[in-house]
Amino acid sequence: MPEKTPAPVRKAVIPVAGLGTRFLPATKATPKEMLPVVDKPAIQYVVEEAVAAGLSDVLMVTGRNKRPLEDHFDRVDGLESALKDKGDDAKLAAVQYASDLADIHYVRQGDPLGLGHAVLKGHQHVGHEPFAVLLGDDLIDESNPVLPRMIEVQERTGGCVVALMEVPHDTINLYGCAAVEQTGEDGVVRITGLVEKPDPADAPSNLAIIGRYVLAPEIFDVLRSTPPGRGNEIQLTDALETLAADPQSAGVYGVVLEGDRYDTGDKISYLKAVVQLAGRREDLAEELHTWLREYVAALDAPQVGGDAAR
C-alpha cells in the first residue's frame, strides 16, 4: 500500500434523504432513519458511532421530512422543564444527551437523485479533506466497530475505503459486490472492481458493500462527472468503481466487518435489530428472553385449533 502524509478525517456525512419506500406507509411523513430501535431512533445510533470514532462534526443530507431529525437533535424546552418538574432525571439526561451529542449541520439534497448525489451535496461543508459517510439506516454493532480501522487505512493510504461484509453466496445479488485482491494485512483488501447486485454465478466474491465509507476528497470530482446509473440515480458505487480502475488514484480499499450489522430500512433486518439490541439491554433482556422462549416454543408446538403463539 502506498504511504501518504496523513490528513486527519474529522467530518462525517450522513445521508438521510432517501424515500424509504420499503417501509411505507410508516415512512410517508417520517424519515426511515427516525424509526425507533428499542427506544432511540436509528439515526441516533449512527451519530453515536461517528462520535465514538472521533467524528463529532456531522453533516446530515436531508430531504422533504427533515423536521423530525432536526427536532430530535435539538433542545425541547417544554419537554425538558416537564421532566425537571417531575424529577425524572434519567429521562431528562437521555433527552439532553441527544442534543449535546455532536455538532450537527444540515443541507438539503433537493431531489433524491441517489446516494452519490447526496454525498456531493456535502462538498461545501467537507471542503478538501477526507471524510466519512455513514448511511443513516445502517446500524453496526457498537461492540465491534469498523469505522476506526477504516479511518486508519484511509489516513495511511490517502485512498477511499469501504466497509465490506461477508454474506452467503446466494444472497450477493442483493448487494453491491467487490472484486478484491489481498493486501497482506488481515481484514483489509484492495478493491479492483465493484459490481452492483450481481447474479451469484457471476459474482467475483461474497463480499458485500455496506453503509460505511471513508472517502478521499477526489471523490467529489468523480461524482460530478458520474452519469446516473442503476435506477437512474447517481451511484456512489459507480464513482468508487471509476477510482478503483484509475491507476493514478490512491486506490480503493475494503475493511471487512467482523460484527453484526442491520439494515433498518428493510423490515426483517429492522425487526432483528430491535430484538437483538433489546436483548443486550440490562433493563429489558430478562423479560424479553423469557417471552421469546415461550413464543418460539409455542410456534414449534403442534397447532390445536388456532393461534398458538400470542
User: Quick one: which of 218, 226, 229 has its CA closest to 251?
Assistant: 218
The 89-108 contact track toward ligand UTP, x by CB under 6 A, reads --------------------
User: Quick one: which of 298, 188, 165 has its CA closest to 253?
Assistant: 188
**Angle of the 147-157 helix axis to the 42-52 helix axis, nearest 10:** 50
**Smaller CB separation from ligand UTP, 49 or 190:** 49
**Smaller CB separation from ligand UTP, 8 or 110:** 110
Consecutive H or E run containing 139: strand 138-140
**Smaller CB separation from ligand UTP, 18 or 159:** 18
Q: Is 26 in the site for ligand UTP (CB under 6 A)?
A: no
The 238-267 contact track toward ligand UTP, x by CB under 6 A, reads ---------------------------x--
Q: Is 87 left (phi over 0), alpha (psi -120 to 50) or beta?
A: left
Q: Is 136 in the site for ligand UTP (CB under 6 A)?
A: yes
**Smaller CB separation from ligand UTP, 155 or 196:** 196
For 208, the grid coordinates are: 458485500
- Cβ–Cβ under 8 Å, residues 176 and 231: no
HSE of 136, CA atoms in CB hemisphere, 13 A: 28
CB of 231 to ligand UTP, least distance (A): 9
Of 99-107, 111-119, 197-205, 277-285, which part binds ligand UTP (CB under 6 A)? Answer: 111-119
- Which spans of this chain sit near ligand UTP (rule: CB under 6 A)? 15-22, 61, 109, 112-115, 117-118, 135-137, 265
